[in-house]
Structure 1
Amino acid sequence: MLLRFGVENHGSIRGYQELQLTATNLKDSEEGLIHQGDASAEGSRVLRLLPVAGIYGANAAGKSTLLNAFDFFLNAIRLSHAGVAKRTGTPYIPFILDLESRSTPSRYDVDIVLESTRYHYGFSLDGKRIVQEWLYSFDLTASRQVRSVMFARETSPEGIVEVIFPGKSLKGENKQIAKLVRPNSLFLSVAAQNSHPQISAMFEFFEQVVSRLNAQVDEVSIVNQLTAYLGLDEQRKAAALKFLKAADIGISDINFSKIPLKEKEVQIIKDIEQLFRQHANIPASDRALFSDDDLKEKVTVKLMHLGKDGKTYPIPLAEESTGTQALLQLLGPVFARLHAGGTVLIDELNTALHPLVSRELIKLFQNPITNPGRAQLIFTTHDTNLLTGSLLRRDQIWFAEKDVEGATHLFSLSDIKVRSTDNIERGYLMGRFGAIPFVGCGLDEFASMFGKHPEQVAT
């Protein structure tokens, strides 16, 4: 489970900002909270975690930047060892509106809990090297919470990597693995690639985070997502169809079928693989990116609609509405995580989705019956309808706002003095909590220009 994510010096984020998914002690509804830990064990701590967090803010306030930073963090873990060339340095996206930040390392860190252990993991980088990397653990069953340093790593400006293991909490071939760590690769990534038992469990957690989905439709992506997540699992497919029927978009079934690839299509795939290998410096001796089965056939998806005669008729995906396509693009990853657990990041949830459909999507994560995997959802949106009623607790509502220097700040509604019975939507739109665009005088001046002659406008 994800407890928090923090980032510093990334995109529009200059100072350290964090998103927390641990429930506060507010007297809001406890329904839907995820409890992690054994309440019956003496001295054991039980964590109360949020299944959903929504981020609001004006356009360009930095909502998407936070998800982009999380995506950056995940890609570094997944790709820093196997996917980054030895001499290319590291990716680096610093705050660019001052000179100091451009030469300051960016920092990323998370707290997660696996079974009865809480882990704090993070790293900093500067475009040339991984400057620092660390992993701490806390035993939640212990009556006294003591931090155990599993490893700490530093890379000198000259590129010398030093990894230390102060205690005995990290088992395995640690020193041998440390020798494989490059200045631009993470120890965590190297250890996972070498099947380190403890690290592999953490790596698997990060693999279960679905990175930065959005409702911008892409027909190829929709087919791939539906096939990967629903095509081979009838239980997931049945649950997804039930949700689609509740959303009232007319789809009664999703049919998957395989057809042989044409010779021209196979050649295109091989050409793409060759270009990718050249760009990523992947040796020709490495295993093929596509198996022989991948080059034999492709999967097609047919969306079935029920006619008034009781028969079902296929409608091509391209002819479905933008809203339906957007929902279908989210459907596969969402239901896979609801079933198996993990975290889903959705950027601009309101794009193309009806507000009522967005509400139902959130409810899937809030209900333990529809969320047996105890998955978590983090989304950005402008949809103030989601602030009404009791859909979200106050600590599930977050705001992003830029200061006068263009730096993003993140804060929760629970940090503001507001009652759970207050009209949150109205308060937000009236500017009570900030994080809204400043419009008015500028637009009035712009509009008044249209009432003047061109020569008057020029003056």
Structure 2
Amino acid sequence: MLLNFRFENFKSFESLAEFSMVSGKVKLHEENLYKNENFKYLKFSAMYGPNAGGKSTFIDAIGISQAIVLNDLNVVATKDKYNKNDPANSNKVTSFEYEILLNDKVYTYGFSVLMNKKKIISEYLLDITQSNSVDEVVEIFVRGQEDGLQSIIVDFDYLKVDKDTENRINVYKEDLEDTTLFLKSLNSNKKIIKTKFSEETVLEDIFNWFENTLEVISPDGTTKSFNLTYLDEKYLSALGEYLNAFDTGVTKVRFERTTEEALKLPVKIREKILEKITLDMKGDNNTGALINSNSNIFKIELEDENLKIDEIRFVHNSETITYSLEEESDGTRRIIDIFTILMGEKNKVYIIDELDRSLHPNLTYNFVKQFIQTTNSSQLIVTTHEDRLLDQKLLRRDQIWFVERNEFGNSELYSLEDYKVRYDKDIMKEYLNGRYGSVPKFDFLFGVM
């Protein structure tokens, strides 16, 4: 799980920005917390701020740092991503740091990059589980610059690897390019990681956290598990009940058999896609496939050498009349995009930009409420303009964050926990009145001519 995230010199953020999912001093709403033997951490956090204040930049900082972990720098768009409010920042590193709770241990993983030069300057992985002092921090590996040359120090005793694996890691060290993170390089061959590391699999586990646990969702995006989950009849039934409960007009969601022509793709493209799907599904692991078109979602399965195509349809008042996805409202489609989070995998960290896009305030509020009540061990961090969530009957002070630009044009991130707010205060009213900053400021209004 995510405990803390820090970054600096990234787009509108110049100084170090610190975001935390570790619980503060608030005593209310213990149900909003996950509890570890040593500390407590939050299930959900919401971030507020005016347009162009820095909310999406915060999301982008997580997204681009994840992309750098999983890919070579050469394929990640980093140009001009440093803070431009001071020209000197172009020659300064951009840094990202994560504190992660994984397998009952706490790790710090971070790295710094010269964005325009696409060059990694430093990287480190620390075990800080028992770190009451600097001496108790275990440096699993540290990468830096020494006399202009790259230097990587690995704690092989901590990793508990045999001599053969140690030699292999040293080869990775020697061959490492300054556009690739050491963590990525070591995970480029999963077979070596899995078979050679005896007791400690931390290098694989940390990489897998970025690859499979952390999930950044854009305002018009869906979850990674969206497609796989849609193959499940149980999921469609639960989705129908959810849409019905929140007055979307939908009472049921189901599959209906359809034809290839319903895919609404050019004939040649359709034939190529279906041919590939057929070949892919002729193996022993035939689990079906999905096609998401502009009009709907189609499930395709192979049955007796023939393709069976089902379309997801939405029932409203009559069982005999159904509707396609494109016929549903933007709000209903948004719910469908993110509903997987309520039904999805355990131990995920979802980051959603503009949770409330196209959603009625009641839907946003109840979605968050349901997520908090779930017990699937996932975390959800969102940016939003929905002020109804600013309710101390729903959220704790340490779950509410603000971002705004200062007089120099730099974004600053801070928590409601920084303010002395009584538990019975109407924080929504105070926020809208500018008590906590982070609201739009109007220097002029357009007059009527």
- In the alignment, what sits opposite 2:179? 184
- In the alignment, what sits opposite 1:120? 108
Q: Counterpart amino acid of 1:206?
A: F
- In the alignment, what sits opposite 1:396? 399
Residues 164, 234 of structure 1: alpha-carbon distance in 2 compared, 3 angstrom cutoff: farther
Equivalent of 1:430 in 433, 440, 449: 433
Q: Counterpart amino acid of 1:303?
A: R
Q: CA deviation at 1:366?
A: 1.1
Equivalent of 1:111 in 96, 99, 102: 99
3-state secondary structure, aligned to 2:136 = coil
- In the alignment, what sits opposite 1:264? 268
Q: CA deviation at 1:267?
A: 7.7
Q: CA deviation at 1:257?
A: 6.2
- In the alignment, what sits opposite 2:324? 316
* Structure 2 counterparts to residues 413-424 of structure 1, below 5 A: 413-424=416-427
- TM-score, scaled relative to structure 2: 0.81
Q: CA deviation at 1:238?
A: 4.2
Q: CA deviation at 1:335?
A: 3.5
3-state secondary structure, aligned to 2:139 = strand
Residues 226, 115 of structure 1: alpha-carbon distance in 2 compared, 3 angstrom cutoff: closer
Q: Deviations over 1:11-63 (max 9, x none)?
A: 111101011000012222212310123xxxxxxx2x20100010001111001
Residues 431, 168 of structure 1: alpha-carbon distance in 2 compared, 3 angstrom cutoff: same
Residues 117, 291 of structure 1: alpha-carbon distance in 2 compared, 3 angstrom cutoff: farther
Q: Deviations over 1:274-308 (max 9, x none)?
A: xxxxxxxxxxxxxx9x9942899754142321435
Q: How many corresponding residue pairs?
A: 403
* Structure 2 counterparts to residues 106-185 of structure 1, below 5 A: 106-127=94-115, 128=117, 129-139=119-129, 146-155=136-145, 160-166=149-155, 168-172=157-161, 173=165, 174-185=169-180
Q: Counterpart amino acid of 1:442?
A: F
Q: Deviations over 1:223-265 (max 9, x none)?
A: x96432332x445444434332322223312427686687611
* Structure 2 counterparts to residues 72-111 of structure 1, below 5 A: 72-80=64-72, 84=74, 93-111=81-99
- In the alignment, what sits opposite 1:284? none
- In the alignment, what sits opposite 2:280? 293
Residues 248, 120 of structure 1: alpha-carbon distance in 2 compared, 3 angstrom cutoff: same
Whole-angstrom CA distance in 2 between matches of 1:57 and 1:98: 23
Equivalent of 2:412 in 400, 409, 413: 409
Whole-angstrom CA distance in 2 between matches of 1:157 and 1:429: 53
Residues 9, 305 of structure 1: alpha-carbon distance in 2 compared, 3 angstrom cutoff: same
Residues 417, 139 of structure 1: alpha-carbon distance in 2 compared, 3 angstrom cutoff: closer
8 Å contact from structure 2 (residues 215, 348) kept in 1:
no
Equivalent of 1:346 in 344, 347, 352: 352
Q: Counterpart amino acid of 1:69?
A: A
Q: Counterpart amino acid of 1:349?
A: L
Q: Counterpart amino acid of 2:211?
A: E
- TM-score, scaled relative to structure 1: 0.79
- In the alignment, what sits opposite 1:285? none
Whole-angstrom CA distance in 1 between matches of 2:401 and 2:77: 34
3-state secondary structure, aligned to 1:208 = helix
8 Å contact from structure 1 (residues 151, 170) kept in 2:
no
Asked if 1:212 corresponds to 2:216, the answer is yes
3-state secondary structure, aligned to 2:95 = strand
Q: Deviations over 1:319-344 (max 9, x none)?
A: 11111111112223x1454x322111
Q: Counterpart amino acid of 1:57?
A: G
Q: CA deviation at 1:422?
A: 0.5
* Structure 2 counterparts to residues 315-394 of structure 1, below 5 A: 315-332=323-340, 334-335=341-342, 337=344, 339-367=345-373, 370-372=374-376, 374-394=377-397
3-state secondary structure, aligned to 2:217 = strand
CA RMSD across the alignment: 3.2
Whole-angstrom CA distance in 2 between matches of 1:114 and 1:244: 35
Whole-angstrom CA distance in 1 between matches of 2:106 and 2:143: 20
Q: Counterpart amino acid of 1:16?
A: L
Residues 329, 256 of structure 1: alpha-carbon distance in 2 compared, 3 angstrom cutoff: farther
Q: Deviations over 1:339-382 (max 9, x none)?
A: 32211111111210111111121123211xx232x100110111
Asked if 1:442 corresponds to 2:448, the answer is no
Structure 2: which 5+ runs fail to align? 194-200, 283-287, 292-297, 299-310
Q: CA deviation at 1:215?
A: 4.0
- In the alignment, what sits opposite 1:250? 249
3-state secondary structure, aligned to 1:139 = coil
Whole-angstrom CA distance in 1 between matches of 2:92 and 2:132: 38
* Structure 2 counterparts to residues 15-30 of structure 1, below 5 A: 15-30=15-30
Q: Counterpart amino acid of 1:185?
A: T
Q: Deviations over 1:191-212 (max 9, x none)?
A: 1222333211112222234543
Residues 228, 428 of structure 1: alpha-carbon distance in 2 compared, 3 angstrom cutoff: same
